[in-house]
């Protein structure tokens, strides 16, 4: 199988199930892509080629994909401030390096789901920066320009996905490090609610604010990884039990800054694209509400101009005492600014944050979520090095407040500038609205139609949507006219249905083209003892009330029963009464209704 330019979890999983490729073959492709990518600054360390091949072979020897291993055979990259057993953790500071005895909690969960870590990616040292230039290992560039920054601090993690080397990666986010690089590389970046993902095995930047983040090509895949990695962790003092916060499925109220607060520092291209994103939200049926952004902006200023900078010193105090000279000069300057912060200042900062939080309540009373530019401008590496602190501060104008105010966020692509560089927006919601935000982020991403990563022409419409909060949803397998792109698919989407996955039935099913049906429909029959190829189905998730309405409208001879899938699981789905297929042409050898329609 020739792999696509952008690797995705869905495409690889489908290929594994179909038997057209293997984890070993995919790992060979990943090795080739790592070697071919022209920017050596992406990686700090990685497993050697033989170790990667061995990991893929060991995975296959332990069994194939299944419901308990949803990431089976999926390679991923890890920011080098997160522990991966077998590789050093450097936080982009060679003098700080250590070799962990075990994986971080999140990496361990992803490995248990079948994913394979391939290496550790570059970052702004000690995760201090939003630009990606503060590392002795070099400054990764945007996948679209060798002159422009990649964004940081999770620089290498974003480039590894944007370049099509791996399907997803882990970053971190304290001030925007899981969002800014997503914008600069045409990716989705999920910044989970604080405490949702364990930070055990993470080198802290600001421990009370840090989040492990996810980069992926689509909102569905980024949120899938987020959900798999989510779990309470008694060993992490900041861990919290997750709880789904829902958002309206339609008629969403979206807050945007009033005109005077839409600051782009003279970058008219980004300003125009943000206005276009607002119009897209309107086109999705949302109500746009102008809000006072000032209290959010003032809260954001506390992160570096307030006492929270002292938390960065707390993270590296012992190392700084002995190795200050080994630190990046800009990072050292920022960390050392904490030396004049007192306990009194810390309390005053807490009081100020509480006051700003109170002032933001008017915005949250008026809007369900916020729509913001991820960054106001897109600097070159040269410009960033000429003004490393000032420009970095501008990059964080719309990101720095999010963890301070305990919000969830998802950054998604929002089009391209006239100079060919990408622009991104971020949707911000209340804590634990992560899954619901992913649904709206996916809609906005698809409406922008700018592809994913380097592949600007990718067919986003064909990509599954996030499921959203799995509250009172019921799965249903469809086999014919309700498939994506087919005449009756709207009956699912009109009811708020979302595509969960594409897969095949078990081998003991047969498919017939039912005569005289309008629009044309197939009939799926369970045939115990039959050994066929398995038939193409799509699994959709419908709200419980919608499921009842949908089933009630199904005409005879079709009905709903339990269908066994190729992975051994069972799901409700369309089955046909046996008498209705007497004399009907059997189309089982074609593998599914879509193939039959194409042949006809």
Q: Could you give the residue numbers annotated as active site?
A: 79, 153, 177
> How far apart are alpha carbons 581 and 174 in whole angstroms?
60
Tokens of 508: 């003991």
> How far apart are alpha carbons 400 and 293 in whole angstroms?
13
Whether 210 and 174 have beta carbons less than 8 Å apart is answered as yes
Whether 476 and 496 have beta carbons less than 8 Å apart is answered as no
Q: Which of 255, 197, 250 is nearest to 223 (CA)?
A: 197
Would you tell me how many other CB atoms lie within 10 Å of the CB of residue 317? Answer: 12
- How would you class 582 by CB atoms within 10 Å of its CB: exposed for 0-12, middle for 13-18, buried for 19 or more? exposed
Whether 278 and 288 have beta carbons less than 8 Å apart is answered as yes
Q: Distances in Å between the alpha carbon of 251 and those of 58, 246, 282, 549?
A: 49, 13, 10, 22
Question: Cα torsion for 458, 459, 460, 464, to the nearest 10°?
Answer: -120
- How would you class 386 by CB atoms within 10 Å of its CB: exposed for 0-12, middle for 13-18, buried for 19 or more? exposed
> How far apart are alpha carbons 117 and 115 in whole angstroms?
7
List the beta bridge partners of residue 429.
408
* Secondary structure (DSSP) of 85-108: TTS-B-TT-GGG-B--SS--HHHH
Whether 118 and 79 have beta carbons less than 8 Å apart is answered as no
Whether 82 and 205 have beta carbons less than 8 Å apart is answered as no
Q: Distances in Å between the alpha carbon of 185 and those of 151, 158, 195, 479?
A: 8, 7, 26, 36
Q: Where are the alpha helices (DSSP H) in 338-477?
A: 343-366, 381-386, 388-395, 401-404, 434-448
Question: Cα torsion for 51, 53, 56, 62, to the nearest 10°?
Answer: -80
> How far apart are alpha carbons 303 and 533 in whole angstroms?
57
Tokens of 240: 């919290």
- The DSSP output letter for 555 is P
Q: Which of 109, 127, 107 is nearest to 118 (CA)?
A: 107
Bond prior to 369 in cis (omega within 30° of 0): no
Residue with tokens 């925007």: 176
Give me the helix-helix angle, 219-229 and 9-18, nearest 10°.
80
Would you tell me how many other CB atoms lie within 10 Å of the CB of residue 37? Answer: 16
């Amino acid at each position: 199988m020739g792999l696509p330019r952008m690797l995705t979890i869905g495409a690889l999983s489908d290929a594994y199930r179909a038997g057209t490729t293997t984890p070993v073959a995919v790992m060979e492709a990943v090795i080739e892509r790592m070697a071919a990518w022209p920017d050596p600054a992406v990686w700090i360390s990685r497993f050697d080629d033989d170790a990667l091949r061995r990991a893929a072979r060991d995975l296959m020897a332990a069994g194939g994909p299944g419901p308990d291993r949803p990431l089976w055979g999926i390679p991923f990259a890890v920011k080098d401030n997160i522990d991966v057993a077998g590789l050093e953790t450097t936080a982009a500071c060679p003098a700080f390096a250590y070799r962990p005895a075990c994986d971080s909690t999140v990496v361990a969960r992803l490995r248990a789901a079948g994913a394979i870590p391939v290496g550790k990616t570059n970052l702004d040292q000690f995760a201090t920066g939003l630009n990606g230039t503060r590392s002795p290992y070099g400054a990764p560039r945007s996948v679209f320009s060798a002159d422009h920054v990649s964004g940081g601090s999770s620089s290498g993690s974003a480039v590894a996905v944007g370049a099509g080397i791996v399907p997803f990666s882990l970053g971190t986010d304290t001030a925007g490090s899981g969002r800014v690089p997503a914008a600069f590389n045409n990716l989705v970046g999920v910044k989970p609610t604080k405490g949702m993902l364990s930070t055990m095995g993470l080198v802290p930047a600001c421990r009370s604010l840090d989040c492990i983040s996810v980069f992926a090509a689509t909102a569905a895949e980024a949120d899938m990884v987020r959900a798999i990695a989510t779990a309470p962790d008694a060993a992490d003092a900041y861990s919290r039990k997750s709880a789904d916060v829902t958002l309206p499925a339609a008629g969403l109220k979206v807050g945007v800054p009033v005109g005077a607060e839409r600051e782009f520092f003279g970058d008219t291209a980004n300003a125009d694209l943000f206005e276009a994103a607002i119009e897209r939200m309107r086109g999705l049926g949302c109500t746009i509400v102008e809000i006072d952004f000032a209290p959010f902006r003032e809260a954001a200023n506390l992160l570096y101009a307030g006492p929270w900078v002292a938390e960065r010193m707390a993270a590296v105090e012992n190392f700084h005492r002995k190795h200050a000279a080994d630190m990046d000069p800009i990072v050292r300057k920022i960390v050392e600014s904490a030396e004049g912060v007192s306990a009194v200042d810390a309390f005053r900062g807490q009081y100020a944050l509480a006051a700003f939080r109170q002032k933001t309540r008017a915005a949250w009373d008026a809007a369900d979520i916020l729509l913001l530019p991820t960054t106001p401008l897109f600097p070159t590496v040269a410009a960033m090095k000429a003004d490393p602190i000032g420009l970095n501060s501008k990059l964080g104008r719309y990101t720095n407040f999010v963890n301070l105010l305990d919000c969830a966020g998802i950054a998604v692509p929002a089009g391209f500038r006239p100079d060919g560089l990408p622009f991104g927006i971020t949707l911000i919601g209340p804590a634990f609205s992560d899954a619901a935000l992913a649904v709206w982020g996916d809609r906005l991403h698809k409406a922008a139609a700018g592809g994913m990563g380097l592949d600007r022409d990718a067919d986003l419409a064909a990509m599954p949507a996030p499921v959203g909060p799995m509250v009172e949803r019921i799965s249903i397998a469809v086999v014919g006219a309700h498939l994506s792109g087919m005449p009756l698919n709207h009956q699912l989407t009109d009811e708020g249905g979302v595509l969960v996955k594409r897969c095949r039935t078990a081998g003991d099913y047969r498919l017939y083209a039912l005569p005289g049906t309008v629009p044309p429909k197939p009939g799926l029959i369970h045939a115990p003892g039959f050994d066929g190829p398995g038939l193409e189905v799509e699994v959709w998730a419908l709200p419980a009330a919608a499921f009842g309405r949908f089933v009630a409208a199904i005409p005879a001879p079709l009905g709903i029963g339990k269908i066994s899938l190729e992975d051994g699981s069972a799901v409700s789905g369309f089955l046909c009464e046996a008498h209705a297929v007497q004399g009907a042409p059997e189309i089982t050898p074609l593998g599914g209704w879509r193939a039959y329609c194409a042949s006809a």
